Every structure is written in C-alpha cells, then in structure tokens.
Chain A
Amino acid sequence: MSNPGFALGATLYPLGAESQGPEECYARDMAEDLSAMSDAGFSLARVLVSWKSIEPQVGLYDERALARLAQVVVSARSRGIRTIVCLFADDRQAELLDVVWGRRRDPRTDRYLLQREVALVAQVASALRSESGVFGWQLANEAFCAGFTSAADLEEWTRSMREAIREVDPDRPITLGIDAETFFRATGIDAHAAIATCEFAVSHVTAAYRAYAADGPSTSGPSTYLDGFLLRLADRGMPVLADDVGPLTLQDSPAEEAAALRTALWSGLANRASGALLRRFRDFDADHREPYFLDPFETLVGVADASGEPKPTLQEAHRFLSTLADADLRGFESPPERTAIILPAERYRPLPNLAGLFDPRACFSAFIGAKEAHVPVTVVEETDDFGAYSVLIVPSAFRLKNKTWPRLVKFVQRGGSLVMSYGGGDAHAAIRELFGIESLGDGGASTRLSCRVAQDGALGEIENFDVRFDVPNFALLTADSATVVATDSSGSPLLTINHLGQGRAIYVAVPLERAIAQGDPWATPDPVRHLLREVYGAVARAAGCGAPVACSAPEVELALFQGDVEDALVLINHSPVALDAELLTTRRVDSIAELDGGSPISVGGTRFLVTLGANGAVALRLAYS
C-alpha cells in the first residue's frame, strides 16, 4: 500500500507507560501497534537500542534483550514495515544509555566507553546482519548528541560508530540522526561535517527551534512552513527524512493536530523529503503532568492514544498514504529548484555577533516569501556552489565573506539573477560593481515604510504604499548604473536593478526579510508581504524559473511533478481558512483529476479553480490537450 517514493513510519518507543521500568524495554508485544501501522500504510518504524538492557555488565550481553529487539524487527518485517535501528538514543524514560558500570564517564568522549560502544554496535549489527527487515542505522538522537562539546568530538564519534557498523554491514544506509540547523541552534556545534559522512540526513522541527523561529499556532502563520524550511536546509545532496513529525504541544485540539500533521506531510512531499517518521506511534501512558502544555522531551505524544485507539492524526497519515499509494508518483519527477536562498556563513558566529540569531529567521522569512510567490525554492549555505541556480536571494545578511562577493559577481555576469537586501552597517565595496549603486551610509531605524514606484512593471506589480512597519536600517543610496525601480517617500532608492554582464542584480535598501521576522510575523502589513512576493516572483519569472503554475492565493504552496504525458500538482493550504485558488497554467489543460483516482473534470483551457479546505491539501493530475 505504501508508496515507495515516500516512506512514512513512526517511532516505537521501548516503554509504553511510566509504570514500566527500564528492564522492560520492548517487553510489551508490539504486534498490535505494528498491525495498526501496517493497516495505515506505514512502511517504516524506528526502534531504539537499550544499551543498559543489552549490556548489563561489561562485556556480557543479555541475549534476551537482543532477542526482544530482533523480535520487534521481525514482527515489523512480517507486516511489510522496515526498521531503522537507533543505537544511542536518550528517550528520557527508559534510561537506555545508563549503563551502571559506566557511571561518571561521558559516553561521547571517554575512551573506554567508546570502545564499549563500538563493541555494542558490532554486537547489535551482527545480531541483525541477516535480517532483511532492517532498513538502516541511526547512530544517535539529538538528546544524546546534545552532550557533545565540540564538532571534532562529534565527528570522531560518528566516524568510529560508522566504522563499527561497516565492519559488519557494508551496505545499509546510516544516518547520524540529528538536524544540523536545530542542533546548531541548541548546542552551538556545527554538525555538517559529521552528517556528511552518512548516507541520509534528517530534518527535525524541535520545540525549541519552533519557539525560536516560528512561535505561534501550529495551523497558521510561519510554523506551517517550518518543516519545509528545515528539510531544505538539511538537503545537502543526500536523501532527507523528516524526523519526529507530529504534535509538539498538548494544547491543540485533535483536529488542529491532524491539520498540522497534514500540512507537515504534504509539505514534506513538496520539499523533497524522502519520507517521514512520526514522533511516536502510541501515547506514552504518563501520570497527569500539570503544568506542562508542551511535550517536555518530545517523546510523549503519539498518533494513537495510550490504549491504542487511533487519533485523527493517524487517520490523517493514513489518508496521506492512501492518496500517494493510489497516485503512484514514480512516473513523475520534480524538476530541480533553480532559486536558492543563501544562509550566510556569519550564521555560525557566536554571540555577541547577532547574525547567528537573526540570519536563520531572515532566511525563513525569505523562504515563506518565495513560497507565497509560488517560486520553487531551496536553501543553500554561503559556501556552497551556486552553479545549479539561476536566482540567488541573500536576505538581510549583515556581512558576507569577502570570498563570496567575487563569486556573486561572476554568478550575475554569467546570467544569474541576484536579489540582496541591505543588512545594516557598512556596505561592501563590491556593491558598486554588482548593484550599480553608491552607498551613502545607514539612514537608521524607522517605524514606517513607504514605497513609491518609479518604474512600473520593472519588478512585477509592485504598488505604492505607506505602512506602519518597523525597519531596523535603511541604506541611503545613489544609483550609478542601476535603475531605480522604487523609492521611499523621501525619494531615496528602495529598489534598484542593475544589469551586469548577462545577468541582473536587484538591491532592496531595507532588511525586509529580517524586519518581517523580527516584527510580529503574524501582523506583517499586506503591502510589505506583497512587495516581497512580487520582487521574488518577478525576478524568478524573468530568469525562467518562476512559479510553474500561477496561483491567486499566496497562502497556497504548490509543487509540480512532471510526467511524460501528464503532470501532478500538489497544493497545500497554509491557512486555517478554506479558500478558492485560481490556477493559471502555461499549457492548455484538457482535464484535471484528483491523483488518487477521482474522475476527470474537463477544463479545456489554461485557467481553473480549486477549492481547498482549512489547512487542506490536494493532489491533482493535469492532463494536457
């Protein structure tokens, strides 16, 4: 039933209730849960290894504990579910890593414990070597890795564990199990190098990161885009699994939980996730724990209640998988994104440099802006190769590396389009050549933003406006070779375009994306959002990588999967209100049909209307004339 293109699964935690002790890991028969998962179309499960249970004494392995783990894997396989075995996870409940003989030693750096860990990995991998139900290996989880104090230690540990697995299992994929972005935010450690040694990556919306980047209701506003944003950031050329998807707060209603999961799953599909793992299958049967309204360690809430009764979230996951299964997207291909948002390298600088705090938020704002313009977009690091892209967006960076400027100049000269917004402070000398402007300094903060269009149609349908909107800086400019597209109310350039070589460089004189992120992102004035959408949309359109299908509703995220004779179009409503979206295609559409087998509806043109429910998602098959 499951679609091989997108695997969905859930974590099977070793303990199901607070009344159980650590020695009871996987003592409960998991067959009921696995059957329910199989019925819902799940094809993945994650199991957690209990070091404490398996190696109760140094060098002495408890065969029964190993057998219980293997039994879960076998039981899953018999139901068509493959397993990711997580070796060193701290699940906050089962004391998985608390080997009594290893007390007061740090399992991440202590040489003796490292040897024991390598031996454990070898033991577990050997026990499951011939088990075809194992899909791959996860080395750790974020709770465990958060104890590392340096990137070098993390990389070293990752290498050791990988080698231990590869001694026994040369083929099956390995992941470290942490999201580089959220991990950096939590610990200040850059895990990119360690993750790069693995075969697949994960993205993970943690509660802490959500509070940092997209506080607010889970079914509206920025938080609905966060899964997609982190997926794009985690995508470094290897498959990415959206990890620990599902409700974080205990405050949402079941309907809101289902709506949030729907958005996360469809958004995952639209943003190139290879699959998703739900946070937990069955609720942890915990004592009533006022006053928490957040799942404190993100390990309590599942898609079935503690008695195994499915919640609306499980039904939602089932619906998602059914649609995908019937659709069979194997014949379709999503064209590569040619627009990229650049996450500046200054993001990795520690406090008191504020870029580390502001830049990811500004990039996230830019990501939402591009999504609202329906531009297929990804996120890259400043040091990445820009060769694959036609449009680059640098949102409100304080300072780029000196080496980056000549690369940007070359990018534009070779035909690329660059959109950069002023980040404050001194402008780099290269802006003169690149943007054809002269910097006259920083005009400072303002509580209002005005736009006066000087060149109609030069950058989409931008409009005049005056709004109350806090901007932290305003670059005072004079245009040299650049064309002034819009000014503020005093006539100072707000938007400029410069033609350089075969490309164009667009400069925005205010840190627009940062201002959106730092203000109240749920109350950004419409004209400001419109300005950002129009600039991004127009630049991408002119570069030939704009919206694949024009859509009248900015709240709708869309993704086009191209087939030989038909295309598949996924539409996701990021708003909690139902809406009608008018779509305009470049090719004449003969008929549309729901991907999961709905009867075709004749269109006979390039324009048609789609109704989307609150937080609704629709997958359509477009048949062309």
Chain B
Amino acid sequence: MAHRSPASLLGETLAREGRVAPAVEACYEALASQEQDPLLHAVLAHLFLADGFYDEAIVLASRAIELDPDCAPAYLALGLAYDRRGGLWDQSILVWQELAEVRPDLVIARVQLGEALFAAGFPDEAIEAWKAALQLDSGASRAMYDLAVAALMREGVATALPGFRRAGELDPSQDAFFFSLSGVSDDGVPVPDPAVVPEDRDARLSAAYALAFREEYFSAAELIREILVGNSQDAEALALASFLYLKQEAVNEAMAVALRSLTLSTKTPAAVYVLGVSFARRQGLGHSTARVFSALAKAAPEHPMPRVLLGESLLSLQRFSDAKTAFLLAVKLDPTCVRARFGLAAALLTQGEYAAAQWEIRRAAYHDTRRQGLFWRLVDGYTEGRSI
C-alpha cells in the first residue's frame, strides 16, 4: 500500500467523524506533500460534497480519478456532485457507468445511473439500469420507486400504483415505524432466548417484540401464543400477532386479528397500522385504507410514516391533491424521508408539476445517499485493494 502520511490519516479520521473544518485543513496539509494521492482528493471531494460545495467536489474528485481510474469512492463523490449540481447529466451518466464498471456489485451506481439517464431523456436505458439494480438487490426500494415514477410519467397512474406499493413494501423504515409505535428500537441488547423468558405476560410481550424486531417471527409468534392462551383478549398481543401474520403474507389473518385487537382496545395504534397495511394490499379497499391511515396519522402526529401511508392510499384513490398535502406534511415532519419525497414527486407529476417533481426526486436521492455511509465503505474497499 502506498505510504500515507500522518496528516492524511488524520484528515481521513476527522472526516469520518464529520469534523469538516479540521479535516479539510489536515487533508490540504497532506496534499502539500502527497499531491498524487487519489484518496486524499476523494476524501476532500466527499467533504465538500457533504456541505453542498459541488464545484469544489467536482474538481477534486475528477483529479482523484485522473490519478487513479479505479478509485471507486471518487466516482461516487463525482457522480453525486454532478447530480446534485444539476443540469450536467451527460457527465453524470459517464461517471455512473464508470463506477458500475469499477464496482459491478454496487447497487447505488445502477440506481443513480438510471436516474441520470432518465433525467437526460433516456427512459428505456434508465429502466434497464433500475432493473439491473433490482437484480443485484431485490430490496433496492429506491430503484423500485424510480420504476414507479417512470411508469407514472409514461403510462399513467394505474400502471404506476403497483410499483409504488411494491416499493413501499421494500422500504425498511415502515417496519421501523411499527416498532416505534410500540416503543421498540435497536438498543443493542442481544435477542432474548425464548426458552428462558419469564412466564409473565409483560416479559413475554417484550421478548416477542424484540424477537420480531430481529425478524425471528416464529419465536415471537410462539411467545404471543402463550400470552393469548392465558388471555385471548390481550389487545397488544393481538396487535403484534397481526403484524406477524402480515410479515408471513397472511393478509386476511392479519386483518382479522388487527380488527379483533381494535375491538378490544382502540388504543393500539400498532393494530391500526397493521389493519391499514392489510387493507392496502387488497384490491377495492382504498377508501377504508385511507380512513385507517388518516386515523393513524392522528394517533401518531409526530411521525411522517402515517402521512406517507395516507398519501399513498390517496394516490391510489386518485385524490392527487389530498395525497400531495399528506406527502408535504410528511416531508415537513421529516425532510430526510426518501419515501415521502418520492410520493410527493408522484403527486406533483399527476398535477403536471414536472420541475417540482424532479426536484423532490433529487432531494430524495440526496438524503438516501447521505444516510447510507457508502462513501466510507468504498474507501475501505479501495484501501484494502491498494494494500494487496
């Protein structure tokens, strides 16, 4: 591996910590003696990109690629800088194609390539790129959203709606919302062993939620069954049971159990959520879905997801203006909510607001890539590759 100076390592460490000013200073100090280090340029490009200084990022990332055409993190920074800068789609397409060649396993390169191609007016090629992204990762929800938006623009709402539904199902933040309704989060505590859970209701319920959170649905279901054997009218246990049915694609059962839970107690928003999602998966229940998610939005006013779900249900009812309002509220609650921005873009497209829709898609891409921490993964891969 090429020798890296202490200033270079310091710059990278500070950059990883998000301390922009000292990181920039350290990187420039390192550059004075190591101008030929592509990684230094790439890290600087990433820092400038993070703060929205696109022109500086473009110059530095281009230099990094010039120094080493295999510098994957530099391609990422350059492509994102072009995309966020806007209007430079031809350059952007080239960069994403290069990155897809340098790192053929990288899903985001295909997704971004598709978005650049679509923005540049090459929809067929864009769709191919998104499909390639989904082949690499069937859970790439952004690629699915992009396909749905493309379908909306080319073929209309009816064709696009299944795509939006599918994209929503792929979105992991929806499950996170369900668990946040029940106060469950990733607290770092190991998954409980179902065999040693105390035999009281609260302990079992808590353990069942923890297991469900870790996607151990069968163990969670067993604990719920034990609670319900003791008390078949436990609304909270029924709410989780309905979720577990939903995760196993037993939509009718999920719907029935969620309804049972709500019959027993109207204060189980988790059951409201499951009911709404179940309704959304059944044809012809659009009005009921919208009503349920509207109730959920009132029950969880601080959370963007019920607004997103409401917006999507309104979209399927072709109530575009109401859908737009719901998505706007979701974006206001959480500007980083990628799904809300895609939904808003869809609603805007139905109203002919193409420029605003493109802007929302760009913002969605911006927040999606920011939260992924992908740059540093590429840096790690690149430095490992260089050390071999």
**Residues of chain A at the chain B interface (Cβ within 8 Å):** 207-208, 211-212, 215-218, 249, 251-253, 256, 290-294, 296, 351-352, 354, 357-358, 424, 445, 472, 518, 520, 522-523
Contacts and interface: CB of A to CB of B under 8 A. Distances in A.
A291 B24 contact: no
Interface in B316-357: 331-332, 335-336, 352-356
Nearest to B356: A217
A251 B355 contact: yes
Contacts of B121: 290-291
B352 A253 contact: yes
Nearest to B47: A354
A471 B384 CA distance: 34
B93 interface: yes
A161 B358 CA distance: 45
Interface stretch (B33-41, B52-60, B271-279, B373-381): B52-60
A293 B119 contact: yes
A567 B171 CA distance: 57
Contacts of B358: 251
Contacts of A358: 51
Nearest to A186: B55
A294 B352 CA distance: 20
B131 interface: no
B18 interface: yes
Contacts of B87: 207, 249, 292-294, 296
A291 B53 contact: no
A256 B20 contact: no
Interface in B85-133: 85-90, 93, 119-122
Interface pairs A-B: 3 shortest CB-CB: A294-B87, A291-B120, A523-B335
A212 B55 contact: yes
A424 B332 contact: no
A483 to B, nearest CB: 31
A296 B54 CA distance: 16
Contacts of B55: 208, 211-212
B91 to A, nearest CB: 10
A291 B21 contact: no
Q: How many B residues are at the interface, by size bracket?
A: 35 or more
Given A212-B54, A251-B355, A293 B335 contact: no
Contact of A291 (B18, B89, B332): B89
B119 A291 contact: yes
B177 interface: no
B46 interface: no
Contacts of A518: 51-52
B355 A215 contact: no
Between A208, A218, A252, A291, the greatest number of chain B beta carbons within 10 A of the residue's beta carbon is seen for A291
Given A253-B352, A354-B21, A357-B53, A290 B120 contact: yes
Contact of B332 (A208, A256, A294, A523): A523
A5 B355 CA distance: 35
A474 B120 CA distance: 43
Contacts of B218: none
Contacts of B29: 352
Contacts of B48: 357
Contacts of A253: 352-355
Given A252-B355, A291-B122, 4 more contacts: A290-B121, A293-B89, A424-B21, A518-B52
Between A218, A352, A520, the greatest number of chain B beta carbons within 10 A of the residue's beta carbon is seen for A352
A357 B56 contact: yes
Contacts of B120: 290-291
A520 B335 contact: yes
Main secondary structure of the interface of B (DSSP, over half): helix
A424 B21 CA distance: 10
A545 B48 CA distance: 38
Interface string B53-96: 11110000000000000000000000000001111111001000
A538 B18 CA distance: 35
A358 B53 CA distance: 9
A292 B119 CA distance: 9
A517 to B, nearest CB: 9
A249 to B, nearest CB: 7
Nearest to A444: B19
Nearest to A250: B87
Contact of B51 (A216, A352, A357, A424): A357
Contacts of B51: 357-358, 518
B25 interface: yes
Contacts of A256: 355
Given A291-B119, A424-B21, A523 B331 contact: yes
A518 B53 CA distance: 10
A351 B87 CA distance: 26
Interface in B1-27: 18-21, 24-25, 27
Contacts of A294: 86-88
Contact of A351 (B52, B56, B86): B56
11 contacts: A212-B52, A251-B354, A253-B352, A253-B353, A291-B90, A293-B87, A294-B88, A351-B24, A357-B48, A357-B56, A445-B19
Contacts of A215: 52, 84, 86
Nearest to A352: B28
A292 B359 CA distance: 15
Contacts of B335: 520, 522-523
Contact of A212 (B19, B20, B53, B363): B53
Given A291-B93, A352-B28, A522-B335, A211 B54 contact: yes
Nearest to B359: A217
Contacts of A523: 331-332, 335
Contacts of B359: 216-217
Contacts of A218: 355
Contacts of A522: 335, 363
Nearest to A523: B335
B150 to A, nearest CB: 16
Interface string B284-300: 00000000000000000
A281 B322 CA distance: 40
Contact of B18 (A212, A354, A445): A445
A375 to B, nearest CB: 26
A518 B121 CA distance: 31
A252 B21 CA distance: 36
A574 B231 CA distance: 59
A172 to B, nearest CB: 36
A331 B331 CA distance: 47
A341 B1 CA distance: 50
Contacts of A211: 54-55, 85-86
A97 B56 CA distance: 29
B295 to A, nearest CB: 26
A212 B85 CA distance: 8
A249 B54 contact: no
A351 B122 contact: no
Contacts of B336: 520
Between B52, B54, B119, the greatest number of chain A beta carbons within 10 A of the residue's beta carbon is seen for B52
A216 B48 CA distance: 18
Nearest to B27: A352
A522 B335 CA distance: 8
Contacts of B89: 291-293
B336 to A, nearest CB: 8
Contacts of A217: 355-356, 359
A212 B56 CA distance: 10
A207 to B, nearest CB: 7
B86 A293 contact: yes
B24 A354 contact: yes
A346 to B, nearest CB: 13
Given A253-B354, A291-B93, A352 B25 contact: yes
A351 B332 contact: no
Contacts of B84: 215
